[in-house]
Structure 1
Amino acid sequence: MRGIADYTFVRPLGSGNHGHYYLATTPARLPVEAGHVAVKVLAAESTSAAFRRATRELTAFAAVRSPYLVAPYDAGQHDGIFYYATEYLDGGSLADPVEPGVGLRAVAHAARAAAALHGAGIAHRDIKPGNVLLHADGAKVSDLGLSHVFAEGVTLTGMGSMASAEYTDPGVLHGEPPGPAGDVWSLGVLLHRVVAGTGLYGELPADDGLFVLRRILSTAPVVSAGLPEPVAALVRDCLGPVVERPSAETVADRIDALR
């Protein structure tokens, strides 16, 4: 794919959550100083209703002011395909190997991003390593989870790709509505992955989605015995009963105290 609408693609950036990402040159019409933006293109056609709903959610996301959130710039539909453009960061993500201190800071910043969204009444719904983008001063959260808009009525896959399932509250996978507590669960799983280097369900295959779902829905998460106790305690709190989970802001504060 060479481009969409008036965006010319430079190279692919990856795939996930029902779409593909591209580095693109910034169109002259956008009031953005950066020469490049990141463009996400949905992997399937979208209905007019889904387009309107997704645009409303992106508009609400754009209204949240936080240094820990990637700035969204534009959204549109071209030949029935939904796309949106955001700020581009070239420092990689938490999906890449990072030093422990860098990882802890990034998770703390992700928690502050979630707290800003929660304060505006928005749940991110897809906090995972690939959506925590790194830069020289820390990290920013990208890619608001919009897959439910394009897969309405689907509970297991409606939250995104299998890469998201490991970080999704099992209650949400069972059909409970997503909310701030689900994002806190995701932050706990992310913190465990960054510090322990392993997931809560063991190593999951990338090419067997059914196995991944079975493991997550039938196996209790196991906190690594090798985690320092303050980290393990915070992970356990994030995975606790919904009404007892800490706020995202509290998660950020506790990680900063650990650092």
Structure 2
Amino acid sequence: MHGIADYEFVRALGVSNYGTNYLARAPARLGIGDAQVVVKVISGPTSDDAFRRATRELKHFSLAESDKLVAVYDAGRQGGDFFYAMEFLPLGSLEQPTGSLDRAHAIRAVADVALAAHALHERGIAHRDIKPANILIAEDGGRLADLGLSQLLSPGMVVTGMGQIGLEYTDPAIMLGAQASRASDIWSLGASLHFAATGVGVYGDLPTREPLLLVRSILASSPTIRPEVGPGLGALIAACVHADLAMRPPTAAEVATRVAALGAGD
């Protein structure tokens, strides 16, 4: 299999958010203990300014003080492709775990990711793409991966070009033109908590994956909390996805604290 820069790809891991993830052998220059890393390749023309913005944000991501963020090791450009290398977690994601994943572990993974999101927010970064596919499973909980860098690499991108971004986990205000923020990430955390507890998002089984029709379906609907979520977790999710920002938890750290207070996720 081919590679990029001095990364030798072992196999493709899947496509997400304007890029393809590959399992790759870690070059010795990284000086890490892991033999393998994940390399994300975002194809297409990347301007010098966009490259600087993306690498600057990745630097802030890597420096954020949280052990719940996936480690980012490297970033670069080759030809028209932007790539970055990050930690490989073999247990898969909340969306596609590689083994069995019980409800308590799934909810704990989202709580961990809320702490990671808070660390980013404290550095002035909105993640922009919190969703089950970007919540990676660790033995002790979860890790947050994969910043929504496509919005930096493709400034002016509109909703119809959002491609693989998890629209059902995106604050509807973003689809209507609002800027990504702490509050919009908290909306995404709420929708991801619902998925962790039930296996579906707050819109249930949406009828299509075609972006325009999907956006119309979402904007014509209201989030619905399934009863099997339980009253405590249901109240938290409802607060996270509330249309009134003042009704949402003020920080992602509070989301994590409230999940922990619920124990097994009642």
Q: What TM-score range do you get, normalising by the shorter chain?
A: over 0.9
| 1:23-172 → structure 2 map (5 Å cutoff) | 23-96=23-96, 98-157=101-160, 160-172=162-174
Task: Output the amino acid matched with 2:166.
Answer: S
State which of 220, 223, 227 in structure 2 corresponds to 1:221: 223
Residue 204 of structure 2 corresponds to: 202
Structure 2: gaps (5+ residues): none
Task: Output the amino acid matched with 2:254.
Answer: T
Could you tell me how far 1:116 is from its partner in structure 2? 1.0
Q: Deviations over 1:169-212 (max 9, x none)?
A: 01011111111101100000001111122222121256422221
Q: Deviations over 1:143-174 (max 9, x none)?
A: 1111111221123146x434511111010111
Instruction: State the identity as a percent.
Output: 46
Q: Is the 8 A contact 2:76 2:83 kept in 1?
A: yes
Q: 2 CA distance for matches of 1:114 and 1:248?
A: 6
Could you tell me how far 1:26 is from its partner in structure 2? 0.7
The 3 A distance-change label for structure 1 pair 206 and 23 is farther
Instruction: Indicate the SS of the match to 2:44.
Output: strand
Residue 178 of structure 1 corresponds to: 180
Instruction: Indicate the SS of the match to 1:200.
Output: coil
Q: Is the 8 A contact 2:186 2:252 kept in 1?
A: yes
Instruction: Indicate the SS of the match to 1:152.
Output: coil
Is structure 2 residue 189 aligned with structure 1 residue 187?
yes
Q: Is the 8 A contact 2:46 2:80 kept in 1?
A: yes
Is structure 2 residue 256 aligned with structure 1 residue 249?
no
Q: CA-atom RMSD, angstroms?
A: 1.5
Instruction: Indicate the SS of the match to 1:62.
Output: helix
Q: Is the 8 A contact 2:43 2:80 kept in 1?
A: no
Q: 2 CA distance for matches of 1:89 and 1:23?
A: 10
Task: Output the amino acid matched with 1:94.
Answer: L
TM-score, length basis structure 1? 0.95
The 3 A distance-change label for structure 1 pair 46 and 205 is farther
Range that drifts further, 29-38 or 205-214: 205-214
Could you tell me how far 1:118 is from its partner in structure 2? 1.2
Range that drifts further, 38-47 or 185-194: 38-47
Task: Output the amino acid matched with 2:39.
Answer: V
Q: Is the 8 A contact 2:50 2:154 kept in 1?
A: no
Q: Is the 8 A contact 1:155 1:174 kept in 2?
A: no
Q: 1 CA distance for matches of 2:199 and 2:184?
A: 22
The 3 A distance-change label for structure 1 pair 206 and 68 is farther
